[in-house]
Every structure is written in structure tokens, then in C-alpha cells.
Structure 1
Amino acid sequence: MVKNLCKTILLFFCLSQGLIATAQPLQKDKTKKLVAHSSLLGLCVSTPIVLQSVWYDKAASFHIVNDGDSWLGMDKTGHAFSAYHIQKQAQHLYIWANYSHNKSILYSAGISILFQSSFEVLDGFQKKYGFSWPDMYANVSGIALFSAQQFLWKEERIRLKFSYSPSPYAKLRPEVLGQNFQERLLKDYNGQSYWLSFSPFQLFNSSLHFPKWIQLSLGYSVNEKVKGSENYFSTTTQEYHAYSQFLFSLDFDFSQMNIRNKSLKKVLSIFNTLKIPFPALSFSQNQIHFHPLYF
């Protein structure tokens, strides 16, 4: 979906802004603050303008929809993921601009909710969509997860991550779930998994000397989910019954590794957005399955 593609492109724009900012030479505080505010606010202003011209076409009066049961919550998890990482990168930019820690949290939270809300408002004026409060709640939950950690610990001890592996269900409705790898990466929820990765020893300030870069990871995904609001789908030869799947695995936190090369450490830290493929246990339909390597 073009809308999801635009959100992904803009998310990676935020990622690049954080890296560019840290690489720039030191400037006066006022100049750096102007750069931070103008680039982030410009992103929030330009987003609805771009989408209005390239994606939205069938205008309608503003209306609200309740899509809380859509896609078994996977789309809502995606909203939380986007809001979390947009705030994270915006905070990096505000810290680079020499804002205080607390102000950087508050300003970045505002940028994230403003950015995400632009999509919801535009949806509200479209016949086939509509403004979604469940989407907004999901956005706020992602912001709350990041902000709470920054206020409590001034660091990420719980990381929200993403992984993907092609599923066999996209071919059943390619117009909805994607016709190629790039589209399916964004649209096929059956192939997506979202994870919370953390080290119990870091989370609870344990005195045990155990590597903090080794993480436990709790995940969520769905299977056989072919239609957004319905959990049943059939073809002439087979029936599909959608179900949720909970996951348990291990993961790595590159930021906690003792890497002396600062440039390499910074590059590797980008991959803290992605869950490393690892053996995993899945829990679904009252059964436990072992996956030798789960992507």
C-alpha cells in the first residue's frame, strides 16, 4: 500500500536525520536547535501535503471508524512500532541540539504524535478509511513505552523490534497482502512479527555479571490472516482460520557490546530495530512449536 510505503520512507528519513546530526561538527546551540525543529516540523507538515497528492483521492466528510478488531491487532502493533521509533530518532536530534534530557523526551513525543496523527486525520476524510481511535491509542502506546524508559532509566532497556519472513498466504489476496516482496514486507501481516527484547539483568539492575547484550525476546504474530476484519477465509480447495501466535526467542543488543570502533558500533546500533533470526518457541491454538530458526 502506498500509504504504508510513504510511512516507511519517512521513518527511514528520521533514522537518517539522527545519524546525520551526530556526524555534523559542533555548531552554536541556536543554530542546532533551529535545524532540529525545522527538519522535524517540516517533516510533519510536508507529510500530509505529499500524501494528499499521491495517495488520497476520494474525499468525504470527516468520519470515525472502529477498526480495533482488524488484522488481530497486527496493524495496531505496527502503529506503536512506528510511533516508538520516530520518537526515538527525533529525541536523538533534540539531544544533538543540546536540549535537556526531559525536554528532548517531551518534544520528540510531540513530533511523533503529530506525525502519526496526520495520517489519521487524512484517513478521516476518506470514504474507504476513517479516523481510528484504536490507531491513535496504539500510537500513544508506542510513545509511552519509549518515554517511560527515558524518564525512568535514561536509556532503552526494552527494545521494540521487527522481523519478517515471507508467508504462503499473500498469494491468496495479492491485491491486499502484496504482489511482490517489497509490498508484502509492508502489507502481509502473516509474515511480520513484532518483538520486545530485553535483558532481565539490565532491566532489574542485577549485580550478576552476565552479558547485557544477550537478550530475551517476546514476540507476536498472526497466521492464516487473509482478511482484515474476518478470521475465516476459503478457496475452492481449502479453508483458513486466522489465529494469533506468541513467540519466545533470544536476541542481541549491539549497543551493549564492547565494540571499540565507534563508527562500527553506531552502524550496528541501527540494526537494533530488527530482531536477529534465532531459534524460537511459538505458542498458538493450545500448542507449542519449536522453530530451529525463526525470522
Structure 2
Amino acid sequence: MKYPLIILAFLLYGVHHSSAQERVTFTTLPDTTLPSRVWMLSGTTAVLYTSGLMALNKAWYKDYPKTSFHFFNDMGEWNQMDKAGHVFSAYFIGKYNREMWRWSGLPRRQQIWIGGLSGLAYQSVIEILDGYSGKWGFSWGDMGANAIGAALLIGQELAWDEQRIQLKFSFHPVQYEEPALKRKTNELFGTTYLERMLKDYNGQTYWLSVNLHSFNKNSWLPKWLNIAAGMGAADMYGGRDNTWTDQKGVHHDYSGNPRIRQFYLSPDVDFTKIPTRRKGVRVLFQVLNMLKFPAPALEINSRGQVKVHAVYF
């Protein structure tokens, strides 16, 4: 799937739904398995996944011809920013599902494996849909990225019973002023803020955010303080290069604008480490934790430039 962040809409609904059930009906998480909750979570997950896949099928595949199942090597596209999106999506689907399955009372390891593998399972179905689309194809690169996201979640839960290293996301809108470039990017990335956030890799940054206190429990550092390393890109007007021919047969060559890789270092906040007794606030903090906190950042890019951003998001 080329725009994996769209699944977050369904994901956030699932977190709110399960948390609302707990807030209204139960006051604590159970110590033993409650079959009624297992069935409820299983049914909710099935409905959310099915509806999500149906919406994706309608939104992304209806305008493209169906073909026989085929493979597609897209490892060279978008400076691998799309692969970072797959890692991020698989990680957070697994993370939120793991949190939901705490509500079931199942043994810890079962909660981890069921929740953690849910992201990989969901995105695997999307890859199969890609395999039958004339626009895309089944990508082993995407599958590998999905597996990395699930493994990062599961591995930390099994080792530490917490997420000391979290994946986060940030986005800033990019303005394309030249008429030909504006038409091309509108076609590629859409025109609304939400479309651009989902599709425009030039404005996206993916972060690996490390909680310092978790690795040294006796440290004087605040429990909520993280350090984050980010990856971004710029000046990409196509999957592999910056040339294209428009519908009128006019060839456009922007190869003079080299495609840039960007790397960042910045402080961050782990909202889940901020103490609160309010369940609604805890749910809000879980949601906010998918986003990198705006903060000063050091950038090093493939042009050899070093930049300091007063605030970067």
C-alpha cells in the first residue's frame, strides 16, 4: 500500500472504543481471562479491519484495473520514505492493539503476540490487494518494513514489558510554487491538508524516539524526556526521479533539483510517562505519543548541509 497512514483513522477509533468500554463498565484491568471481553475485542477488531479494508479497496483500487497477481520492486522509490511509513503503521497498529488486549485479561505473552502481529496481518492483506492492482504490485520491500515494525513492538514488550524506543511521526506542509510543479504535486499528493499529510513524503518525518530514563532507572533525567532521531526527504516529484510527461505530451525535467535525504536529532516527550489518574487523559497521551513533539532540531542532509531549526515538526 502506498499510503499506509490512512489506517490511523480506523486505529484511533479502535483505541477510543475499547477505552470507552473500560471507562464506563470496568474500573481495573482483569488479572484473569474474561471470555466475554475476548469475544468483544475479537468482534470489534474483525469489524474494524474488515471495514477498513473495504474503505481502502474503494478509495485506492477502484480507479485502477485489476490484474493477475504479480510482484513489484519499489525499493528504489521515494528515498524509502514509503518504507518508513510501513514500519510506522505496523508498529502503531500493533501497539494500540496490544493496549486493547490488556482489557481481555489474557496471559501477557498472548496479549503481546495477538496485538503485535495484528499490524503485520492487516498490512499483509493490503499487500495482497496491491498484488492484484494494475497500479501497484505485491512488494517484498513493503512486507519487510511491516515485519520490522511488528518486531520492534513485540521485541520490546517481551524484553521490557514497555516501549523504550518508540516510532513517531511529524508533518509540515510543503509549498510548490511553479505552475507545472504545482499541477504535478496536486496530482500526486492531493490538495487538502489531510491528503498531503498522508501522501506527500516531502513533508513527512519519521522518528525513532528513545526514552533515556528507561535505560537507567536511577538517572536524574525526567521520566518523560526522550531523544529522537528522524528521517525525512525533500524535492521528490515522482517515485524514482524528477522527470515526467504530462497529459498534453509535454516533458518536464526537474532533475536539476536533486532529491535530498534529511536526518534529524531532537529532544522529544514521552507523554505516557507523565503521571495522571484520569483514564481519558491516559488515552489522549497514548494517541499524542504517535506524534513527535515540536522542538529544536539539528539537521544533516545529503547535500552536506548542517542546519539548526528553532522548532521543527
For normalisation by structure 2, the TM-score amounts to 0.86
Tell me the equivalent position of 2:266. 249
| Distance of 2:233 and 2:276 partners within structure 1 | 36
Once the two structures are superposed, residues 83-104 of structure 1 have per-residue CA deviations (whole angstroms, 9 ceiling, x without a partner) of: 1111111111211011111001
- Which SS does the other structure have where 1:282 is aligned? strand
Q: Pick from 79, 88, 91: which aligns with 1:72? A: 79
Q: Pick from 287, 300, 304: which aligns with 1:286? A: 304
Counterpart code for 1:195: W
| Distance of 1:101 and 1:87 partners within structure 2 | 14
| Distance of 1:261 and 1:20 partners within structure 2 | 12
| Distance of 2:10 and 2:81 partners within structure 1 | 20
Counterpart code for 2:13: F
49-58 vs 206-215, which moves further = 49-58
Once the two structures are superposed, residues 22-63 of structure 1 have per-residue CA deviations (whole angstroms, 9 ceiling, x without a partner) of: 324249811100011111133333443443344423110000
Tell me the equivalent position of 2:34. 29
Tell me the equivalent position of 1:210. 221
For normalisation by structure 1, the TM-score amounts to 0.90
| Distance of 1:115 and 1:24 partners within structure 2 | 29
25-34 vs 187-196, which moves further = 25-34
Gaps in structure 1 of 5+ consecutive residues? none
| Distance of 2:190 and 2:254 partners within structure 1 | 22
| Distance of 1:125 and 1:237 partners within structure 2 | 32
Q: How does 1:52-201 map to 2 (within 5 A)?
A: 52-57=57-62, 58-169=65-176, 171=182, 172-201=184-213
| Distance of 2:54 and 2:280 partners within structure 1 | 36
Counterpart code for 2:192: N
**What's the CA shift for 1:128?**
1.2
268-277 vs 66-75, which moves further = 268-277
| Distance of 2:197 and 2:145 partners within structure 1 | 20
40-49 vs 177-186, which moves further = 40-49
| Distance of 2:146 and 2:255 partners within structure 1 | 36
**What's the CA shift for 1:230?**
1.7
Tell me the equivalent position of 1:19. 19
- Which SS does the other structure have where 1:239 is aligned? coil
**What's the CA shift for 1:212?**
1.7
Counterpart code for 1:288: V
- Which SS does the other structure have where 2:285 is aligned? helix
| Distance of 2:14 and 2:198 partners within structure 1 | 18
Q: How many residues align?
A: 294
Q: 1:268 to 1:43 in 2, by over 3 A?
A: closer
Q: Which runs of 4+ in 1 moved over 6 A?
A: none
Q: 1:16 to 1:134 in 2, by over 3 A?
A: same
**What's the CA shift for 1:112?**
1.6
Aligned partners of 1:232 and 1:240 also within 8 Å? no
| Distance of 1:220 and 1:226 partners within structure 2 | 18
Q: Quote the sequence identity (%).
A: 34
| Distance of 2:143 and 2:2 partners within structure 1 | 20
Once the two structures are superposed, residues 175-208 of structure 1 have per-residue CA deviations (whole angstroms, 9 ceiling, x without a partner) of: 0022121211111111111111112332x23422
CA RMSD of aligned residues (A): 2.5
Q: 1:51 to 1:162 in 2, by over 3 A?
A: closer
Q: 1:68 to 1:237 in 2, by over 3 A?
A: closer
Tell me the equivalent position of 2:247. none
Q: 1:209 to 1:262 in 2, by over 3 A?
A: farther
45-54 vs 25-34, which moves further = 45-54
Gaps in structure 2 of 5+ consecutive residues? 245-250
